[in-house]
Amino acid sequence: MKKFTLGRASAPWLLMGPAFLYYAVFWLIPVLEGIAEVFTGLEGGFTLTGNFRLMAESDLFVQSVVNTALFAGISVVLQYAIALVLAVFLNIKFKFSNFLMFIAMIPMAITPTAVAILWKTGLFKDGWINSLLMGTGLVTDPLLFMNAEGFSALLLIILIDTWTVTPSVMIILSAGLQGIEKEMREAAYTFGAGKWRIFRDITLPILRPSIMTSIILRLIAAVQVWAITVMVLGHGKVPFLVERIAFYEDIIPGLDTSGKLAFTYSFTTTVIVFAVTLVYYRISKRGTYLEVL
């Protein structure tokens, strides 16, 4: 009887088979069904643009696209700038640097629901934020945060998200800073380079992989934002693309168009995330090649 042996080339595929099967059944099949719904009309039959026209004519579509773009652009730049400053500062390793690192990481350990509850209780007229501001004499009358509309409400969500997400970006950048040898900086000082020159010509190039990773992850997450705005301000106050998916799926699921709009918004958001990630990746790689040349 011939003994069965597992080859080195086939072993990884066999071991990964259960995982592939799991994703095929519980992820790939639902995704394909969702895509099929996007190109199926309300009365059945294939439609290429019918559901996209329905989405474009739906309430708050334009505003949700604009808000998503503004949120992604502003929040990523703001969070990255703050995280980079914190990572470089805490990498100096002074007396209380580890303790400050621990304090800075606390928001990352709080669940999104707890973050929403924490900030919503503070944003009320008699919440802890107004109590703190009035107690310290910074304001004389309570600020009406919950009445914010338009860009002011969007900025409020950006600030809350920045407080929550910045620590995770800081950790990625801090890990990248660990790869910078102390001898490299000392050699640069020896040849007369200043701190800014060292940061620009040594620190930033070495941080490039960490920078790419953090920005791509933040762009993907920023385009998909919805939980914080819904839990703090409710549906429709600051509409986002993914918030519209939740609105049509959870708030008005009984309409004939609700399911189609939810699937179409989901498909559109996925395409946008993929396109933004691909464009940024291509631009980053092109910048690397130009520097090498």
Cβ burial 213-223 (10 Å sphere, 16+ → b, else e): ebbbbbbebbb
Single pTM value for the model: 0.82
Backbone φ and ψ for 40, nearest 5 degrees, come out as -120, 130
Q: Indicate the fold that domain 47-292 takes in CATH.
A: MetI-like fold (1.10.3720)
Please report how the helices 258-292 and 29-38 are oriented relative to each other, as an axis angle in degrees rounded to 10. Answer: 110
pLDDT one digit per residue (tens) for the chain, 293 residues: 555 566 677 777 888 888 888 888 888 888 888 899 899 988 888 888 899 999 999 888 999 999 999 999 999 999 988 998 888 888 877 777 788 888 888 888 888 889 989 999 999 888 899 999 998 888 888 888 888 888 999 999 999 999 998 988 888 888 888 776 666 776 777 767 777 777 777 778 778 877 887 788 888 888 888 888 998 988 888 999 999 988 988 888 777 788 889 999 999 998 988 888 888 777 766 655 434 33
Q: How do the domains of the chain map onto residue ranges?
A: 47-292
Q: Give the C-alpha distances (Å, rounded to integers) separating 115 from 49, 72, 111, 161, 241.
A: 39, 19, 6, 9, 21
DSSP symbols for 197-218: HHIIIIIHHHHHHHHHHHHHHH
The tokens of 224 are what? Answer: 């998909």
